[in-house]
Copies of this chain bind each other. A is one copy, B any other.
Amino acid sequence: MKTAIFPGSFDPFTLGHLDVLNSALLVFDKVIIAVGYNSTKNGFFSQQARVEMIKDATADMENVEVVCYNGMTIDLCRKMKVNFIIRGLRTTTDFELESVIAQANKQMNEKILTVFIPASSEYSFISSTVVRDVLVNGGNAKKFLPKEIDIDKYLKERE
């Protein structure tokens, strides 16, 4: 059975992430969504809220697990005995940044392979940054989010 970790901050989880997840589930038997905690940067949503949103969005999907983690992704890989990392790519800027990280990870643990999945063109403009920008300005971000996520509930929790 082939398992991959799909790490990210998912702040919040968008239709773009869901699209990459659906593609990843075609390739791998199981995908573990790993919600990172960045000690130097406060999230817009709490790590716990981000996990819950992803659980809402993937409740009906088999072979998906959602976990929290701190520290390095390769340490999580070793702990969970997983050798594959999934990353979605939207832009050339994404590609360069992710390539550097993929190489560094491989250098630190040569068993780790990062696999890139291109964003579908209809979601290529959806990033968590864009969504947060809409939310912070009181806009309606629902068309960028999985329909199962009740974003208003999570926005209230932030207050």
Cα–Cα distance between A146 and B134 once the two chains are bound (Å): 33
Report A86-104 CB contacts with B as 1/0, cut-off 8 Å: 0001111101111111111
Please state if B100 and A91 are interface contacts (CB–CB under 8 Å). Answer: yes
Please state if A116 and B118 are interface contacts (CB–CB under 8 Å). Answer: yes
In whole Å, how far is A34's beta carbon from the nearest beta carbon of chain B? Answer: 14
Contact of A95 among B2, B89, B127 (CB under 8 A): B89
Whether A26 is near chain B, meaning CB under 8 Å from some CB there, is yes
Please state if B40 and A72 are interface contacts (CB–CB under 8 Å). Answer: no
Interface residues of A (CB under 8 A from B): 2, 23, 26-28, 39-40, 70-72, 74-75, 83-84, 89-93, 95-104, 106-108, 113-118, 120-122, 124-127, 130, 133-134, 136-140, 143-144
